[in-house]
Amino acid sequence: MRKLTLTNQLTELIANKPITHTDLKHAALLTLDAIANALAGRSTKPGAILLRLIGQNFAEVDASRWAFLWGALTHILEIDDVHRSSVTHPGCIVVPAAWSVAVRGGMRGHAMLKAVLWGFEAMTRVGMAVGPSHYRMWHNTATCGPYGSAMAAASLLCLDQVATVHALGNAGTQSAGLWQFLEDGTLMTKHLHAGRAAEAGILAADLASFGFTGPQAILEGAKGWFAATCPDADPSAVTRDPNGNWQLLMTSIKPWPSCRHTHSVIDASIGLQHRIKLSSIIERVEVKTYPTALEICDLPEPSSDYEAKFSLQHCVAAALTLSKIDCSAFSEAARAELAEFRKKVTLKAAEPYSSAYPISWGGAVTVTTYEGKKLTERRDNARGDPGATAMSQVELISKARVLMAYGGVPEPDLLIDAVLALSDDMALPSLTFKKLDAVVSAQK
C-alpha cells in the first residue's frame, strides 16, 4: 500500500480532531485579538499605504485581496498572537483568511471558528517541523502561513481530503518570506509577509475547489519544501501528538507592542523597576536570553518606531524607566530620551534560556547600581503564554478595547460582544477596515 504523504496525514488528523464549545470560545478570543490588531494597524503609516493600495471600492475587493489587507494590517503593531513551538503568528494569517471566505459564503460563527481552529493547527504543525535553521533565513509566519490559510479556506469550502491536499500543495509552493528586511531596515516587508500568506491560501483552496491540482508531497518530497528550505527539518512533528489540545489553545497573547523575543526581559525589567525606584542609580544592565532573540533583536541604536520594537536594548531601557509599555514607548521622543540609557545594556546568550527555546522564551535582567548592588529578575516564560502566565479573558478584552480605540473605533464593545458571540453560532458582524468608517453593529 502506498504510504500517505504528510499533507494527507495532516488533513486527516485535523478532520478527525473533536471540537468542544470551550475550543470555539477560545477561537473567538483569538479572532477578537486579530480584529483588534487590524483595526489599530489602520492608524499607522504602513496601514495608510495599505489602505491606499486597496482604494475606496471595498465592496468590489475579492476575498483573497481582502485577506491580504487584513493580514498585513494585523501584523503592523507587533502585538498580535504568537505560537512558541512553531515561532509563528497564526492569527494574522488564519483569521483574515477564515473571515474573508466565511463572509463571502454567508456563513455563521461555528463554521468560521472551526476554520480558525483548523488553520491554526495546520500552520503551527508545519511550523513545528521546519527546524531552527529555517528561521535563521526564513520568516516562519510568512512561509508556514499559506498552509494555515489554505486549511481554513478548505474547511469553509467543504473540500474533501483529496482537494484539501491539493490546496495545501499549492499553498506550500507559494511560501516565501526572507529576513533580509531586518538587515536593510525596511521593516514594512514584514507586513507584506502576513498579507501574502493569508491571500495565498485562499487562492490555493479556491483553485482546488475547481479541480486544480497541487503537489501532494509538498513537504517531504525530494524537491519539496523541507528539502529546499529546512536543513534540519523534523517531519514527524507534523503529526505528533494527534490527540492533544488544539494548537490554538497553545498560542500566546502578547501584552506589549514589540517583538515577542523581547517580552520575557520586558517583564523582568518591569519587575526590577518596582524594586529600584530611580533608574538614575543604575550603572549597567546585563540581559541573558536565548540566541535567536539576539539574532533578531540586537539593535542598540534603533532609528524608527518599528526598529525599537525589535531592539532588546531599547525594550529593556523602556521597561526599566517608563511608566508603561505602549506604542508611545517606541516613539521618536522615547528613543531620544533613552539613547544614553540604552548604552548601559549588554546582551548575552545563556542557559537555561538557550536550551529551553523554542518551548520557552525566557530571559533574565541584572542591574548593577553605582554602589555595586546587583538585582536580578528572571522569567522562564513570557507573560501571555498559556498556563500560569496566560492573560485572562478580562485582560484580553481590555487589550482589544485599547487597540480599537487606537484605531478610531467609536464603540468597541459592540464589536467585542459580537465577536465573542460567534461561539454561540451568531452571524458574523459586518466589518470594514476603511480608515474613517465605524465598525457597524452585529447582524442578528
Q: Do 15 and 76 sit in the same domain of this protein? A: yes
Spatial contact of 334 and 309, defined as CB atoms under 8 Å apart: no
Domain containing 283 equals: 260-379
Mean pLDDT of the chain: 94
Look up cell 528572571; give the residue: 378
**Average pLDDT, stretch 316-321?**
97
pLDDT at 386 > cutoff 60: yes
Higher pLDDT, 87 or 436: 87
Instruction: Give the integer Cα–Cα distance in Å for 412 and 283.
Output: 44
Region of 85 (left: φ > 0; alpha: ψ -120 to 50; beta: rest) is alpha
Residues 9-22 pLDDT 10s: 999 999 999 999 99
Q: Give Cα 392 distance to the centre of its chain.
A: 18
Give the type of residue at 377.
Answer: E
Quick one: pLDDT at residue 56? 56
pLDDT at 432 > cutoff 90: no
Q: Do 145 and 14 sit in the same domain of this protein? A: yes
pLDDT at 442 > cutoff 50: no
Give the type of residue at 34.
Answer: A
The CATH number of residue 361's host domain is: 3.30.1330.120
Query: Is residue 312 situated within a structural domain?
Result: yes
Q: Do 280 and 335 sit in the same domain of this protein? A: yes
Quick one: pLDDT at residue 439? 34
Percent of the chain with pLDDT over 90: 89
Residues 25-57 pLDDT 10s: 999 999 999 999 999 999 999 999 999 888 656
Helices (H), 210-301: 225-229, 263-275, 291-297
Quick one: pLDDT at residue 438? 34
Query: Is residue 270 situated within a structural domain?
Result: yes
Query: Is residue 444 situated within a structural domain?
Result: no
Total tally of structural domains belonging to the chain: 2
Residues 281-296 pLDDT 10s: 999 999 999 999 999 9
**Average pLDDT, stretch 263-284?**
92
Query: Is residue 439 situated within a structural domain?
Result: no
Residues 186-218 pLDDT 10s: 889 999 999 999 999 999 999 999 999 999 999
Closest CA to 346 of 367, 325, 360: 367
Spatial contact of 124 and 90, defined as CB atoms under 8 Å apart: yes
pLDDT at 436 > cutoff 60: no
Q: Do 158 and 206 sit in the same domain of this protein? A: yes
Q: Do 119 and 249 sit in the same domain of this protein? A: yes
**Average pLDDT, stretch 423-434?**
90
Q: Do 338 and 212 sit in the same domain of this protein? A: no
Strands 282-289 and 345-349: parallel
Query: Is residue 235 situated within a structural domain?
Result: yes
Q: Do 231 and 267 sit in the same domain of this protein? A: no
Q: Which of 182-191, 205-214, 255-264, 295-304 has the lowest mean pLDDT?
A: 182-191
**Average pLDDT, stretch 345-369?**
96
Q: Do 300 and 405 sit in the same domain of this protein? A: no
The CATH number of residue 183's host domain is: 1.10.4100.10
Q: Do 369 and 395 sit in the same domain of this protein? A: no
Query: Is residue 441 situated within a structural domain?
Result: no
Query: Is residue 111 situated within a structural domain?
Result: yes
- Contact residues for 243 (Cβ-Cβ < 8 A; gap 6+): none
pLDDT at 101 > cutoff 50: yes
Instruction: Give the integer Cα–Cα distance in Å for 214 and 353.
Output: 40
Banded model confidence at residue 108, pLDDT cuts 50, 70, 90: very high
Quick one: pLDDT at residue 53? 85
Last residue of a domain, one of 325, 345, 379: 379
Beta bridge partners of 368: 284, 374
- Contact residues for 330 (Cβ-Cβ < 8 A; gap 6+): 257, 258, 302, 305, 306, 308, 309, 314, 318
Q: Can you give the pTM of this predicted structure?
A: 0.93
Q: Is the peptide bond before 242 cis (omega within 30 degrees of 0)?
A: no
Last residue of a domain, one of 379, 404, 432: 379
DSSP track, 105-138: TT-BHHHHHHHHHHHHHHHHHHHHHS-HHHHHHB
Quick one: pLDDT at residue 278? 78
Query: Is residue 429 situated within a structural domain?
Result: no
Closest CA to 265 of 367, 364, 181: 364
Q: Do 182 and 41 sit in the same domain of this protein? A: yes
Q: Do 270 and 348 sit in the same domain of this protein? A: yes
Instruction: Give the integer Cα–Cα distance in Å for 141 and 176.
Output: 10
pLDDT at 409 > cutoff 50: yes
Q: Do 154 and 182 sit in the same domain of this protein? A: yes
Banded model confidence at residue 277, pLDDT cuts 50, 70, 90: confident
